[in-house]
Structure 1
């Protein structure tokens, strides 16, 4: 009976992990919350000969936001896969284990 309780507990924890990660990704993509801030670098600038100021190709805000969004998505994808593994372990504990053995009386002729 403890296998059933453990199985249901693992299944619930795994499904909650998957749902919370998916909801977090939804919130980030709809800009309700900010992604995890991991990068804060400078933009990409190119110095053009004959010009006094360098020309900015990609702004720092855009580059940092895209990098942070990618890292946040990969982190949440990892958590979804962890939730899947936990819930599949719970399902395996819930399934009854049935072993069917068949004995065949085949005799070999010499």
Structure 2
């Protein structure tokens, strides 16, 4: 009897894990939740001073006042990090789904009755 109780607890635990993982993925894809924040990469930028090192005299004074004025972002960090974080979240939740499935299937094996059918003892041809 205790195997059945443990089996039902495993089934419930596995089902809850799978449901939570599915809800988390749904929330991320509908923008109601945030994915796991793993990646925090800088954006892709280019320094225009390396492209045009000869700057006219009038603009050279402006550059010394603002040193970062010639650095231009080509790709923002959000464009790089957001898809990577979503992919990492889906992979992590897939792992959680798999663990929930394994726990639930173990519970099903506990609940299932064990039936052993024995055949009647037949005389062997080799025995005299």
Q: Which residue of 2 aligns with 1:43?
A: 43
Structure of greater Rg: 2
Q: Partners in 2 of 1:38 and 1:53 — Cα distance? A: 26
Runs of at least 4 residues of structure 1 off by over 4 A?
Answer: 46-49, 51-55
Normalised TM-score (structure 2):
0.74
Q: How many residues align?
A: 109
Where do 5+ consecutive residues of structure 2 fail to align?
53-69
Normalised TM-score (structure 1):
0.85
Q: Does 1:32 align with 2:32?
A: yes
Q: Does 1:68 align with 2:69?
A: no
Q: Does 1:106 align with 2:124?
A: yes
In angstroms, what is the RMSD of aligned CA positions?
2.3
Q: Partners in 2 of 1:80 and 1:8 — Cα distance? A: 18
Q: Partners in 1 of 2:84 and 2:26 — Cα distance? A: 17
Greater per-residue helix proportion: 2
Cα-to-partner distance string for 1:79-100 (whole Å, 9 max, x where unaligned): 0000001101100000001112
Q: Is the 8 A contact 2:46 2:71 kept in 1?
A: no
Q: Partners in 2 of 1:68 and 1:38 — Cα distance? A: 6
1:53, distance to aligned residue in structure 2 (A): 4.5
